[in-house]
């Protein structure tokens, strides 16, 4: 019958090319970040013990594990926190004299 010379049968909306893809991409908003990580960058040696105590308070680590984590800076202290939880912890660590980054 010769119908194959017209190409495959299409169903659904037909896009007119790259312009449709660009227009659809510009309408979508970038997703907001919901999970944050706390990274300890550096700290003053005089406040090391206070920082270890604070790290133990918001993690389930023992004294030895918390000490090892604090000593291997830069290190991620806690992952997957909400913005409110992470901000409270960052403020406490900054008050103690640590340099902390919220990722």
Instruction: Give per-residue pLDDT as tens, 15-38.
Output: 555 555 555 555 556 667 778 888
The pLDDT value recorded for residue 68 is: 92
Instruction: For residue 41, give both structure tokens.
Output: 């960058």
Give residue-wise pLDDT tens across range 53-94. 998 988 888 999 999 999 998 888 888 888 888 889 899 999
Bridge partners (DSSP) of residue 78 are 38
Eight-state DSSP code of residue 16: -
The pLDDT value recorded for residue 102 is: 85
Nearest to 58 by CA among 92, 33, 83, 34: 92
The radius of gyration of the chain's CA atoms, rounded to the nearest angstrom, is: 26
User: Which DSSP string do the residues of 33-78 spell out, in sequence order?
Assistant: P--EEEEEEEE-GGGHHHHHHHHHHHS---HHHHHHHHHT-SEEEE
Instruction: Please give the model's pTM, rounded to 2 decimal places.
Output: 0.64
The pLDDT value recorded for residue 17 is: 55
The pLDDT value recorded for residue 81 is: 86
The yes or no reply on domain 36-102 and CATH 3.40.1280.10 is no
Q: Check if the beta carbon of residue 39 is closer than 8 Å to that of residue 74.
A: yes
């Amino acid at each position: 019958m010769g119908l194959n010379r017209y190409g495959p049968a299409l169903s659904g909306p037909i896009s007119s090319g790259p312009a449709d893809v660009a227009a659809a991409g510009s309408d979508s908003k970038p997703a907001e970040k919901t999970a944050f990580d706390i990274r300890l960058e550096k700290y003053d040696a005089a406040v090391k013990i206070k920082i270890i105590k604070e790290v133990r308070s918001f993690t389930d680590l023992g004294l030895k594990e918390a000490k090892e984590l604090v000593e291997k800076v830069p290190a991620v202290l806690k992952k997957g926190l909400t913005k409110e939880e992470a901000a409270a912890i960052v403020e406490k660590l900054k008050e103690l004299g640590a340099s902390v980054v919220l990722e």
